C-alpha cells in the first residue's frame, strides 16, 4: 500500500486514538533538500510520515515533537548546518531550515481544522492554512493568496509573523490517445507528481495492460473529460492526430481552467486545428492557449524524447507562467 501524505496520515492516527504533531518547513537558506511547505507528522508512539530534510534533522524533530505533545506548545525550530557537517544531517551543501511544530488539539492546530483541510484536499479544493508563528491564531482560507496558489508556493508573510501553507489539489495529467508516446509520458509524469489518466475509446490503444500505472477510460473524450472534471491543476495532452477524438476534448479543455493544453501534430496540422476552432467560435486568445506542436523544441527523436519534451513544457508552464 502506498504511503499516506502527511495531513491524511495525521488524521488517520488521530482517529485511531493517537496524539499527533505536525512539523512544516517554513523557511530555508542554502542547500535544503526539501522545499518550504514540506511536512513531517509524528505520533505519540514515535511513528512518522513525510520529511523535512534528508537526514537526521528528522530525528531531532521527532524528539521535539514528542516533547511538544507533552507540553502542548507550538514552537519554531531552527537548524543551521556548516558545510563540514552538512552531509551528516542531510543538508547536502550546508544551509539552514526553520520548522513550525504544532501539536494537533486544543493548544495547536484544532482537530476540526485538520479534518476540514483533509476534506478540501479530497474534494480537490485549493485551501491555504495560515498559522501565526507564536501559536496565537490559525485559520483555513479559500480565497486570496492568488500568486501563492498559482506558483504553489508556501511561505512566511511579509511581516514575518504568519506562515501560509498552500494546499493545492494534486496535479493531474489527462492524455487523450493511448499511443506509444503516452506509454512513456505516463511513467515520467507519475514520477514528477502527476496523477495520469489515459482516455481512448479504442480499447486496443486504451488497454489497462498497456497503462498499468494510470487510470484508463474507454470512452469518447468529451464524455470522459466531463466525468474527470478539469480544474487549474490539470494538464491535457492530445495525441491521437484524429480530429474526431481530439477536437471535442480541446473544446472542453479551452472552456476549463486547465493550466496546460498540448496537441500533437505538425505546424500544418495545428494550422488546420486552429482554423476549425475559429470556425467553431473560439476567440484567438483562447486558441492561443494550445501548445501546438506539443512540447519544447529540443530536437526530440522518438516517443520517449517527445514525452520528455511534453513533460518539460508542462512543468515550464506550471512553474513559470
One DSSP character per residue, 243-279 reads HHHHHHHHHHHHTS--SEEEE-S-HHHHHHHHHHHHH
In what side-by-side order are the strands of the sheet with 127-132? 138-141, 127-132, 162-167, 155-156
158-205: pLDDT as tens digits = 899 999 999 988 899 999 999 999 999 999 999 998 999 999 999 999
How many Å apart are CA 306 and CA 232, to the nearest integer?
A: 24
220-243: pLDDT as tens digits = 999 999 999 998 889 999 999 899
How many Å apart are CA 24 and CA 15, to the nearest integer?
A: 21
pLDDT at 82 over 70: no
Confidence of residue 91 (pLDDT cuts 50, 70, 90): low
pLDDT in the model for residue 321 = 64
| Residue 139 three-state SS | strand
Q: What is the CA radius of gyration of the chain?
A: 22
Average pLDDT in the 46-56 region?
A: 83
Q: Could you tell me which residue, 82 or 270, shows the higher pLDDT?
A: 270
pLDDT at 84 over 50: no
pLDDT in the model for residue 123 = 87
Which one, of 43, 48, 74, lies nearest residue 59 by Cα?
Answer: 48
Confidence of residue 298 (pLDDT cuts 50, 70, 90): very high
How many Å apart are CA 33 and CA 153, to the nearest integer?
A: 16
pTM: 0.74
- Residue 114 has φ and ψ, to the nearest 5°, of -65, -40
User: Which stretches of the chain are assigned E, i.e. beta strand?
Assistant: 20-30, 39-43, 48-50, 75-81, 95-103, 127-132, 138-141, 155-156, 162-167, 171-176, 194-199, 215-217, 234-238, 260-263, 290-291
Q: Using alpha carbons only, what angle is made at residue 27 by residues 80 and 172, rounded to the nearest 5 degrees?
A: 130
Euclidean distance between the first and final Cα of the chain, in Å? Answer: 35
- Residue partners of 53: CB distance under 8 A and separation at least 6: 32, 33, 34, 79, 89, 90, 91, 97
Task: Return the number of other C-beta atoms located less than 10 Å from residue 67's C-beta.
Answer: 13
Q: Could you tell me which residue, 81 or 252, shows the higher pLDDT?
A: 252
Q: Are 34 and 53 in contact (CB under 8 A)?
A: yes
Q: Could you tell me which residue, 16 or 170, shows the higher pLDDT?
A: 16
- Residue 91 has φ and ψ, to the nearest 5°, of -100, 95
Confidence of residue 85 (pLDDT cuts 50, 70, 90): very low
Cell numbers found for residue 108? 495547536
Average pLDDT in the 68-87 region?
A: 75
Domains of the chain: 6-167 (no CATH), 171-319 (3.40.50.720)
Confidence of residue 83 (pLDDT cuts 50, 70, 90): very low
CA–CA distances in Å: residue 310 to residues 178, 192, 236, 272: 15, 13, 11, 21
Q: Are 314 and 262 in contact (CB under 8 A)?
A: yes
Confidence of residue 48 (pLDDT cuts 50, 70, 90): very high
pLDDT in the model for residue 63 = 94
Cell numbers found for residue 288? 492561443
pLDDT in the model for residue 168 = 87
Exposed e or buried b per residue across 23-44, where buried means at least 16 C-beta atoms within 10 angstroms of its C-beta: bbbbbbeeebbbebbbbbbbbb
| Residue 292 three-state SS | coil
Amino acid at each position: 500500500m502506498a504511503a499516506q501524505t502527511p495531513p491524511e496520515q495525521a488524521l488517520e492516527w488521530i482517529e485511531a486514538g493517537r496524539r499527533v504533531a505536525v512539523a512544516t518547513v517554513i523557511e530555508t537558506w542554502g542547500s535544503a533538500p526539501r522545499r518550504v511547505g514540506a511536512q513531517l507528522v509524528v505520533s505519540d508512539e514515535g511513528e512518522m510520515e513525510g520529511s523535512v530534510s534528508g537526514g537526521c534533522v528528522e530525528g531531532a524533530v521527532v524528539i521535539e515533537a514528542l516533547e511538544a505533545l507533552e507540553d502542548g506548545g507550538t514552537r519554531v525550530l531552527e537548524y543551521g548546518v556548516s558545510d563540514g557537517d552538512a552531509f551528516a544531517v542531510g543538508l547536502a551543501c550546508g544551509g539552514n531550515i526553520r520548522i513550525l511544530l504544532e501539536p494537533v488539539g486544543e493548544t495547536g492546530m484544532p482537530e476540526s481544522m485538520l479534518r476540514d483541510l483533509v476534506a478540501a484536499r479530497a474534494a480537490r479544493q485549493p485551501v491555504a492554512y495560515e498559522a501565526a508563528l507564536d501559536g496565537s491564531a490559525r485559520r483555513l482560507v479559500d480565497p486570496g493568496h492568488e500568486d501563492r496558489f498559482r506558483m504553489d508556493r508556501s511561505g512566511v508573510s511579509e511581516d514575518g509573523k504568519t506562515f501560509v501553507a498552500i494546499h493545492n489539489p494534486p496535479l493531474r495529467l489527462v492524455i487523450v490517445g493511448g499511443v506509444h508516446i503516452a506509454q512513456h509520458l505516463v511513467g515520467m509524469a507519475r514520477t514528477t507528481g502527476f496523477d495520469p489518466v489515459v482516455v481512448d475509446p479504442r480499447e486496443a490503444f486504451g488497454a489497462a495492460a498497456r497503462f498499468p500505472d494510470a487510470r484508463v477510460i474507454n470512452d469518447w473524450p468529451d464524455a470522459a473529460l466531463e466525468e474527470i472534471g478539469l480544474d487549474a491543476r490539470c494538464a491535457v495532452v492530445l495525441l491521437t492526430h484524429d480530429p474526431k477524438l481530439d477536437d471535442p476534448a480541446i473544446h472542453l479543455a479551452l472552456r476549463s481552467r486547465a493550466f496546460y493544453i498540448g496537441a500533437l501534430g505538425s505546424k500544418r496540422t495545428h494550422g488546420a486545428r486552429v482554423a476549425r476552432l475559429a470556425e467553431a467560435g473560439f476567440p484567438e486568445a483562447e486558441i492561443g492557449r494550445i501548445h501546438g506542436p506539443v512540447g519544447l523544441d529540443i530536437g526530440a527523436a522518438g516517443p520517449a524524447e517527445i514525452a520528455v519534451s511534453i513533460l518539460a513544457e508542462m512543468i515550464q508552464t506550471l512553474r513559470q507562467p
